[in-house]
Amino acid sequence: MNILIIGAGGFIGSNLSEEILERKKEWNITAIDISDAKISHLLNKDKFNFIKADIIKETEIVDDALKNCDVVLPLAAIASPLTYVQDPMRVFELDFEANLRIVKQAAKLKKRVIFPSTSEVYGMCSDEAFDEYNSNCVTGPICKQRWIYSCSKQMLDRVIFALGIRDNLQYTLFRPFNWIGPRLDDINNPNNGSSRVVTQFLSNILHGKNLKLVDGGAQIRCFTYISDGVDALIKIIENKNGCANQEIFNVGNPYNELSIKDLAYKIKELAKSYSRTKTFAEAAKIEEINSSEYYGKSYQDVNRRVPSIANAKEKLDWIPQVNMDELLKRTMDFYFK
């Protein structure tokens, strides 16, 4: 199988590429990204062909790669809440416009598309657990620019679904719920809001800064270790007996449900066990901050985000394995050891 991973140098792309090369010797990967920093250790591997390109500017490179693949994963996206608020057009231009072009070209060439949707498409849905086929997608007012990411992804979900009906596009949509692990973000950047929550807390500790709880940290999330997410992706790519054809899958761990406040205390405590961060962790305080002060006035948050994974269990025979404590330990071992 010839697999095209666009955005292979990102968090999901780098971990997926690594695992495919380890487990699926018969698969060939063509990897496209603007940077190879997270995949430098893969560049000399057999069956891994890296092309450095900007998918917005160098569209002909993407088109050529699409012609030669069996399946494409358009993983390139901006997934930073601070950027949603401060530079929403940049988010729209990459996450929607650039990926829309790739999806339409894939449909024209009759290529299978595995598209990274997001748990954020559910927005402020009030369901106890979010269901791929029944839960409503509820976002805030237009002035809350935080939702441009969610809306960009949701619109692409709808376009892909429509192309499946009109053109028989073969696709799978997967929705990651707070995937965590090695190479998630660069924790050497000390600025608040530069990383997602786990890596932001790790960065704060590393730089001797306090941990900030946005609006008190009462928000509840379900954290998923990257190896569990990648296992689901490999099953989706394999597509045994067509199990993933024109399907939508939540890929998350509902058993790792935790408030951001509790997460901060867990990370602070665990960081004391590493020689590199022990002193900083002991000194770090956990303090509250208003979201408008931290992100800006156009930010809005979700109180609780829990996936139903019944569809993935049934169709993919997939269930997450890594619990919260082990997830944090593996991630912190990567960054702090």
Give the separation between CA 87 and CA 115, rounded to whole angstroms. 23
Catalytic residue among 120, 132, 183, 196: 120
Predicted pLDDT of residue 194: 58
Q: Quick check: is 196 catalytic? A: no
Catalytic residue among 112, 183, 196, 305: 305
Quickly tell me which residue has 């208003």 as its tokens: 290
* Section 21-29 average pLDDT: 97
Q: Quick check: is 120 catalytic? A: yes
Predicted pLDDT of residue 189: 78
> Is the pTM value of this prediction over 0.85?
yes
Q: What is the pLDDT of residues 226-272, one digit of tens each?
A: 999 999 999 999 999 999 999 999 999 999 999 999 999 999 999 99
Distances (CA, A) of 16 to 12, 103, 182, 303, 314: 6, 20, 12, 30, 22
Q: What is the pLDDT of residues 53-92, one digit of tens each?
A: 999 999 999 999 999 999 999 999 999 999 999 999 999 9
Question: Residue 283: is its pLDDT beyond 70?
Answer: yes
The DSSP annotation for 199-246 comes to: HHHHHHHHTT-PEEEEGGG--EEE-EEHHHHHHHHHHHHH-GGGTTTT
Beta-carbon contacts of residue 158 (< 8 Å; ≥ 6 apart): none
Q: Is 4 helix (H, G, I), strand (E, B) or coil?
A: strand
Homologous superfamily of 2-180+225-252+305-320: NAD(P)-binding Rossmann-like Domain (3.40.50.720)
Predicted pLDDT of residue 192: 66
Q: Is 19 helix (H, G, I), strand (E, B) or coil?
A: helix
Domain ranges of the chain: 2-180+225-252+305-320
Whole-number average pLDDT of the chain: 96
